[in-house]
A = this chain, B = another copy of it.
Amino acid sequence: MPFGVLVHFVAVTVEARTAPKREAILEATIRVLRDRGLSGLKVEEVAREAEVGKGTVYLYFQDKQDLLKALVEHHTFAYYRKVEEVVSRGGPFRERLAEVLRLRVDWVEEWRGLWAAVAREAQPEDTTGWLRGMHEHYQRLLERLVQEGKARGEVRPELDTCLTAASIAALACNPQLEFPREAYLEHLLEVLLKGVAL
- In the complex, A185→B189 CA distance in Å? 19
Quick check: A174 and B183 within 8 Å, CB to CB?
no
**Residues 149-198 of A at the B interface (beta carbon under 8 Å):** 149, 153-157, 159-160, 162-164, 166-179, 181, 183-198
The answer to whether the Cβ of A43 comes within 8 Å of any Cβ in the partner chain is no
Interface centre among A183, A186, A195 (most CB of B within 10 A): A195
- In the complex, A132→B178 CA distance in Å? 8
A156 CB, min distance to chain B CBs, angstroms: 5
The answer to whether the Cβ of A94 comes within 8 Å of any Cβ in the partner chain is yes
Quick check: B175 and A117 within 8 Å, CB to CB?
no
Quick check: B38 and A120 within 8 Å, CB to CB?
yes
Quick check: A37 and B120 within 8 Å, CB to CB?
yes
Which residues of B sit under 8 angstroms from A195, Cβ to Cβ? 156, 191-197
Quick check: B187 and A163 within 8 Å, CB to CB?
yes
Quick check: B176 and A135 within 8 Å, CB to CB?
yes
A98 CB, min distance to chain B CBs, angstroms: 5
Nearest residue (CB) in B for A146 is: B196
The answer to whether the Cβ of A62 comes within 8 Å of any Cβ in the partner chain is no
A interface, CB within 8 angstroms of B: 37-40, 94, 97-98, 101-102, 105, 108-109, 112-121, 124, 127, 131-132, 135, 139, 146, 149, 153-157, 159-160, 162-164, 166-179, 181, 183-198
Can you name 29 A-B pairs with beta carbons within 8 Å?
A37-B117, A38-B117, A39-B121, A101-B185, A101-B188, A105-B177, A114-B120, A116-B175, A117-B117, A155-B197, A156-B195, A156-B197, A159-B187, A163-B179, A163-B187, A164-B196, A166-B178, A166-B184, A167-B171, A167-B187, A167-B188, A171-B188, A171-B192, A173-B173, A191-B195, A194-B194, A195-B195, A195-B196, A195-B197
